[in-house]
Chains A and B, each alone.
Chain A
């Protein structure tokens, strides 16, 4: 009975830690800066973290399937420069350019998955290699240039407001989160992804096509990353090969903070999204109270270490 109560407490802790942290940060920053709670700033936090949240969802799918992807930043970079170059240099219709960018990203993701299966290697190492490949591809496409002069209809995706107040990109994010959450939590396919990540051998012997499931997870993540790239490029109005680089670490951080297991098979989307916004609020708030980028890095790292400490202590408490 006592042990059971402890398990319950551990579960409660892991469920509530991120929401509580988010509330603490919001309270703290609103005391420290009067501007923090203004509608403008809150909207900014949402809008600025749309692509982060989507990438975090992508990372979660891959991590649940038992993998890890370090190449996501350069996948985004490839998609962003491809789309913006098509638009600004070749005047390709927006719709086609966007679809091309997303399709390319899904191919890059699939490539990662197939490589990991065929080489029978750790996905972290495989994507370390493909990261370099994608980096090269990105610079070959961009020729180290930055692409501006994007058509208004493209910019509207990232900057437009429905009814003058509801940001379109936030709506897209919410829809994607609902879809991913539903597929992972309520469908047979989602269940299979968890099984393949939790114990690949048990899943194989239970008749699941483990290799297919893993590749498919990378493909889906690729699609999400492609969409995130389009949203980021259209919001900032330009893109170069540095666009999106390093985003995978923010995504992985959000996943780890929310308790997505590195060994696979565990993770809950809403917790990941909350964790992504914990990171978003942290950097926004620190900006407002005039702490620059570098202290932010330190704060991010400290929060991660703290959460590891608390998780571990709870696990041992059981």
Chain B
């Protein structure tokens, strides 16, 4: 039995949090962004030292742990952003730092054989000699878990393991987690996807604003109950109602190919939210980049308002009336180290110039207008975008796209990494925009979001369109079947 207890009186990041984890349980840790989940696991893994409080591990009390001590004790962390030796083999990664080998010289064959044995425990057939950088994210996670097994880990912490892997891979990961549990390993599981907790977890602990809220048995609660704990209030409807779209066709793609997608045709109506479903790698983002001009098409046509367009770069895509809110907010959407007003004006900066010189007043006024329109919560607009919450950053990215006055907006993963509370805001905005006559293409990996927000759905599988669903036919099962290419 383990009882890890910690408190931090007076410190905001974690305020007097005590949670106990039992041997062989899968214990989920949930909370909105900034709730203190990462800080909490970092104290366990030894990455940071708690201000006060104690950690009790197998009856022994520690005031803090160093990373080395944590590893010695058998605590392993699978971080969201995997930290691995990318240019080294799978086997090398698994055995890195373990001095069990008899001789100074590494026996490659022996090492690979041992690695294969460990991997077999996960029903995995990853080649131990393969280089880590060539593997999928799901396989790389398995390597991290294998590493933990080799080190006889007693506690495995997984930080959002399913954020970037496909449905099938998720199923396999759940198997692996159950496997660990059967071996009496404690799994601390952090996730934003509440549905999956009900599938694999025993107990859930909720953090909010650095404070411990509660620990409940997963069978004693439901999704709504968890959300209530997380946000501290009732969210009545996650998906706001929207006026139905018109029938006027704004964008029409015919037999579009290139950038990994093939022969895709669809129509987008004015004021419509058209969802794109599919697994990671199905070609949804790639298709959006084709439309926007961020990638080259090889054949097919795109018509906007009946006129054929063929943007060769994003600049031309914007001129054609398309705006993109990219999937990776931090690297593709925001200029994170730049002020908010700067971010908002960058895509139409030339229009804010008088004979080449930026009109600062006009620039600030535009930023203020969008702050009001999109309800961006910030005291001042000269603050860096990095200081905003995920939801507000996303609003800045939306403002940036809107500043170029597009008719069609592409939302690629509009709420990835955004709190549940803030998501609702983004959904409201999307509906408002659609009702104002903008037409929206939405790519999402969040099934509930797709079903809740879209008026029609297009499903892709390995670069091909495998289905088109109208609202009445929406169901999770149908989408998954089409997305897996089984139908």
Contact = CB atoms under 8 A, between A and B. Distances in A.
B448 interface: no
B332 A201 contact: yes
10 contacts: A188-B353, A195-B335, A199-B332, A202-B326, A202-B335, A203-B335, A204-B294, A205-B294, A206-B314, A207-B313
Interface in B329-366: 331-338, 342, 346-347, 349-350, 352-353, 356-358
Contacts of B315: 207-209
Contacts of B349: 188, 191-192
B314 to A, nearest CB: 5
Contacts of B347: 206-208
Given A189-B356, A201-B331, 19 more contacts: A187-B356, A191-B358, A195-B338, A195-B346, A198-B337, A199-B334, A202-B335, A203-B335, A205-B292, A205-B326, A205-B332, A206-B346, A206-B400, A207-B314, A207-B315, A207-B318, A208-B347, A209-B313, A266-B337
Interface residues of B, number: 29
Given A187-B358, A188-B358, A206-B346, A199 B353 contact: no
B382 to A, nearest CB: 11
Nearest to B325: A205
B324 interface: yes
A187 B353 contact: yes
A186 B346 contact: no
A203 to B, nearest CB: 8
A133 to B, nearest CB: 30
A187 B354 CA distance: 9
Nearest to B400: A206
A198 B338 CA distance: 9
9 tightest CB-CB pairs across the interface, nearest first?
A207-B315, A188-B353, A207-B318, A206-B347, A207-B314, A188-B349, A188-B350, A187-B356, A198-B335
Interface of A: 186-189, 191-192, 194-195, 198-199, 201-209, 265-266
A204 B314 contact: yes
Contacts, number: 72
B337 A191 contact: no
A222 to B, nearest CB: 21
A207 B358 contact: no
B332 A265 contact: no
Given A188-B349, A191-B346, A195-B335, A205 B324 contact: yes
B190 interface: no
Contacts of A187: 353, 356-358
Nearest to A192: B349
A265 B314 contact: no
A249 to B, nearest CB: 26
Which of A192, A205, A266 has most B Cβ within 10 Å? A205
B294 A202 contact: no
B404 interface: yes
Interface string B292-305: 10100000000000
B317 interface: yes
Contacts of A192: 346, 349
A258 to B, nearest CB: 17
Given A207-B318, A207-B404, A209-B315, A186 B335 contact: no
A218 B228 CA distance: 56
Contact of A202 (B292, B318, B331, B358): B331
B379 to A, nearest CB: 10
A188 B355 CA distance: 9
Contacts of A188: 349-350, 352-353, 356-358
Nearest to B293: A207
Contacts of A265: 335, 337-338
A191 B339 CA distance: 12
A191 to B, nearest CB: 5
A266 B292 CA distance: 28
A199 to B, nearest CB: 5
Contacts of A202: 326, 331-335
Contacts of B333: 202, 205
Contacts of A208: 315, 346-347
A201 B330 CA distance: 11
Nearest to B334: A202
Interface in B268-315: 292, 294, 313-315
A179 to B, nearest CB: 12
A186 B315 CA distance: 22
A311 to B, nearest CB: 15
Nearest to A199: B335
A189 B334 CA distance: 19
A194 B337 CA distance: 11
Residue among B314, B350, B353, B400 having the largest count of chain A Cβ atoms under 10 Å: B314
B322 to A, nearest CB: 10
Contacts of A189: 356
Nearest to A3: B387
Contacts of B342: 191
Contacts of A206: 314, 346-347, 400
